[in-house]
Amino acid sequence: MNTSEIKKLMISSLNEDADTVEVSGKLRDEGISYQFSHTFGDKVLNKLFSAGIAVTREVEFVKYMNFAFYRIALTGVAAIVILLISIFLMQGSLSFNSFLGLSDNYDESIVCLLTGN
């Protein structure tokens, strides 16, 4: 069977009245088949009936933690950038004082503010 015939077969398998069993059989005859490795069954049983299951769950946990970390890290970086921009727009600079919101105040006025004199 050449490539165009296989393409036709693939498309025809989606016809409402297609004989899907025949189509899938023909495709399998053409070498379109999927299999797991020959040790697949043993791997499953080892995971189920040994300490392997704990490892699997640990790997899953690490996988989800990695994903969560990326989300949190990206959100954090975006928040920091927005904060820096807003400080720059409000204070006109990114100095240490502007971070503390002190750029427009003199030391004396802070002392007055704190002591009430």
Partner 1 sequence: MINKSYNAPGEDELVKASLNGDKNAFGEIVNRYQKMVARTVKGMLGDSVFAEDIGQEVFIKLYYSLSEFRGEAKLSTYIQRIAVNLTLNEIKRRKRFLSLFSQKANNEMYEFEIADQDIEVRKEASEMVNKALLAMAPKFRVIVTMRMLQGYSTKETAEILDLPIGTVLSRLSRAQEQLRNILEKL
Q: How far is the CB of 85 from partner 1 (least distance, A)?
A: 22
Residues that bind partner 1 (CB under 8 A): 1, 3, 6-7, 10-11, 13-16, 18, 20-25, 27, 30-37, 40-45, 47-49, 53, 56, 67, 70-71, 74
The C-alpha atoms of residue 1 and residue 10 are separated, in whole angstroms, by 12
Q: 8, 47, 15: which is closest to 30 by C-alpha?
A: 8
Is the Cβ of residue 58 or residue 104 nearer to partner 1 in the bound state? 58
The C-alpha atoms of residue 77 and residue 24 are separated, in whole angstroms, by 50
Q: How far is the CB of 110 from partner 1 (least distance, A)?
A: 44
- Residue type (1 letter), 31: G
Q: How far is the CB of 52 from partner 1 (least distance, A)?
A: 10
